[in-house]
Amino acid sequence: MVGLTMRADLGVIVCLIFACACAGIAHAQEEASNQEQVTSKDRAALTQCLSNAKTTKSAPEGCIGVVQAPCLDAPGGQSTYGMKDCANREAMVWDEQLNIAYKAVLSAFGDRDADGQGGKTIKAADLIRDMERAWLAFRDKKCAVASLQMAGGTGAGVLYNDCYLYETAHHAIWLNSLVAQ
């Protein structure tokens, strides 16, 4: 009888642990999805900075960090999770800028012919798409290498997200420079 009671108690404990783990995972996923949305405040901060840079003829690279810096100064911003989140928040805003610039470059040059390898003529749209795909792969690998300094530690994610932010921002600025007037 004692053996059955202990088995039943053990079964209840296992079920409780499993339920708590599932609830924790669900909460973490919900929190992560809430954090991964671009806010209008973040978008406005970058848009305003880029507008000011254009008006004052300043380098738009000065806008990199306009969302991240105040986020890092906020409560929780200096934790590992906070640092990753702050970089990710700004990276998402720059990613929007990158997509706008990419579409503008395709629109401006996509119908043209371009010189391909081996003297062949190719459509500029194909060249632009190939470049963007290659750049995406390059950025991801570069950031993976940047995170090697802290591989196995929680800082690796911080390094990866910082790299991702800066690479995405610089590429968005470069693409925009191709069509800026």
Residue labelled with tokens 């590992």:
80
In this prediction, residue 1 has a pLDDT band, given cuts at 50, 70 and 90, of low
Summarize pLDDT for 9-65 with one digit per residue, the tens.
545 444 434 444 444 443 344 334 334 578 999 999 999 999 999 999 999 999 999
Q: Pick 6 or 142 by higher pLDDT.
A: 142
Burial class (CB in 10 A: 0-12, 13-18, 19+), 166: buried
What fold characterizes domain 40-179? Substrate Binding Domain Of Dnak; Chain:A; Domain 2 (1.20.1270)
Dihedral of CA 35/42/136/139: which sign? Answer: negative
- Which stretches within the chain are classed as H helix? 2-35, 40-55, 68-73, 80-109, 124-146, 155-179
Residue 18 to residues 4, 23, 100, 106, Cα–Cα distance (Å): 21, 9, 45, 51
Summarize pLDDT for 109-168 with one digit per residue, the tens.
988 888 877 778 888 999 999 999 999 999 999 999 999 999 999 899 999 999 999 999
Residue spans of the domains in the chain: they are 40-179
Looking at residue 144, its pLDDT comes to 97
Task: Please state the pTM of the whole predicted model.
Answer: 0.77
- Report strand pairing: 121-123 vs 113-115: antiparallel
